[in-house]
Structure 1
Amino acid sequence: MTRTAQRVFEHQRIWRVTPDALRQACLLLFAAISRDHPEVDHVIGIANGGVAPARILAGRLGVKSRSVKARHNADDGVYRQATGKVAVDFDAFRRGLGRKKLGGTVLVVDDICGSGATLYKLRNVLIPVLAPDARVITATLCLNTGAETCPDYSVWTVSDWVSFPWEKRPDQPTVDMPIPERATSHA
């Protein structure tokens, strides 16, 4: 299914998530998720952007972090709208599981929920590897106001481009994202 939601860009600033803001955001996500889900059995980071926050959360939750590659943008240019088509490279992830099915609570993590299409696609792609008792929850650092599908948890709501620590810094000036004070549950 092709998703057509458009990310909102007000073109007022490019937000920059600093390493300190990233650590605090992950701590807040961990607290909110742990409050609602006393046990998380699996953490999956959506590569590339979800890998770092997934590793941080998995470490706090005491579970192994896995990753699955997904691509929604045509390129890495600033203010680019997503294509509406999410390409997922699921083969390596599936091979890593072998015949194992993921049971219990499965946390899927990404850096940003722009339109919601990547989270939507990942929920569906995971179905064949989920045990009957599995429950998928999602968390992102940022949620764009144009998203059609919300994650279960997010930290910042944005209406402009966001630059993350693992990305090449934009050529334009950036504004540091404020250190967050809470995570939001959208569930």
Structure 2
Amino acid sequence: MTTARRVFEHHQIWRLTPDSLREATTLLVGAILRDHQSVEHVIGIANGGVAPARMIASTLGVKARMVHARHNTGDATYQQATGKVTLDLDPLTRALNGQRMKGRVLLVDDICGSGATLRRLRHDLTPLLSPSAELLTAVLCLNTGAATLPDYSIWTVSDWVVFPWEKPPADQNTTPLPRPEEALCHA
């Protein structure tokens, strides 16, 4: 399978502000609950999905869990997708202690660049889900080059995005993302 290419138009480097992050997670919860009665589990993809997952889980009144996935080879801007996603599901597997997650499971990340991380986790989480469980995915940003779409997103981007938990590039200006207006459903 060919790896999707992230689109970078090099017009600006977007920056997600803490206020917009709070508004975006609120919009995601609203859209998800509009379409689904409840969410029983929230899993953040470390590193970028942890903060939004914790915010979403807190709003939903459930515990946030974490999985480790790495797709970028470093922290430099404008990196292309490698197609190679490394995962560490051991902490989640240990936390579940032999139990399988039931109900709706929401997988959260900061950005869907190529879609490879979401695709890999959809597959690799299956043994940790009960047969009746439903896996949903939500991201803050969706790159226009993504081949695999999340179920929900806020911003569609064609450039690099810097998140509040990342160090902004020292030699380049950033532009705040516009205030979020709605969560998009791609399912």
Q: Provide the TM-score with structure 1 as the length reference.
A: 0.98
Q: What is the CA–CA distance in structure 2 between the aligned matches of 1:126 and 1:93, rounded to whole Å?
A: 10
Letter in 1 for 2:30: A
RMSD: 0.8
Partner of 2:181: 181
Q: Deviations over 1:80-124 (max 9, x none)?
A: 112110000111211111111001000000000000000000111
Partner of 2:117: 118
Percent identical among aligned pairs is 63
Q: What is the CA–CA distance in structure 1 between the aligned matches of 2:155 and 2:2, rounded to whole Å?
A: 22
Q: What is the CA–CA distance in structure 1 between the aligned matches of 2:169 and 2:54, rounded to whole Å?
A: 24
Shift of residue 49, structure 1, vs aligned partner: 0.2
Shift of residue 3, structure 1, vs aligned partner: 5.2
| Unaligned runs of at least 5 residues, structure 1 | none
Q: Deviations over 1:5-31 (max 9, x none)?
A: 000000010000000110111111010
Partner of 1:160: 159
Contact kept, 8 Å, 1:114 with 1:147, in 2: the verdict is yes
Q: What is the CA–CA distance in structure 2 between the aligned matches of 1:124 and 1:100, rounded to whole Å?
A: 18
Letter in 1 for 2:22: R
Which structure 2 residues correspond to residues 87-98 of structure 1 after superposition, within 5 A? 87-98=86-97
Partner of 2:46: 47
Q: What is the CA–CA distance in structure 2 between the aligned matches of 1:26 and 1:74, rounded to whole Å?
A: 27
Partner of 1:139: 138
C-alpha distance 60-49 of structure 1, shift in aligned 2 (>3 A): same
Q: What is the CA–CA distance in structure 1 between the aligned matches of 2:166 and 2:82, rounded to whole Å?
A: 20
Contact kept, 8 Å, 1:111 with 1:142, in 2: the verdict is yes
Q: What is the CA–CA distance in structure 1 between the aligned matches of 2:6 and 2:111, rounded to whole Å?
A: 11
Q: Deviations over 1:137-164 (max 9, x none)?
A: 0000000000000000000000000000
| Unaligned runs of at least 5 residues, structure 2 | none
Deviates more, 1:174-183 or 1:89-98: 89-98
Partner of 2:3: 4
Letter in 2 for 1:185: C
Letter in 1 for 2:11: Q
Letter in 1 for 2:99: K
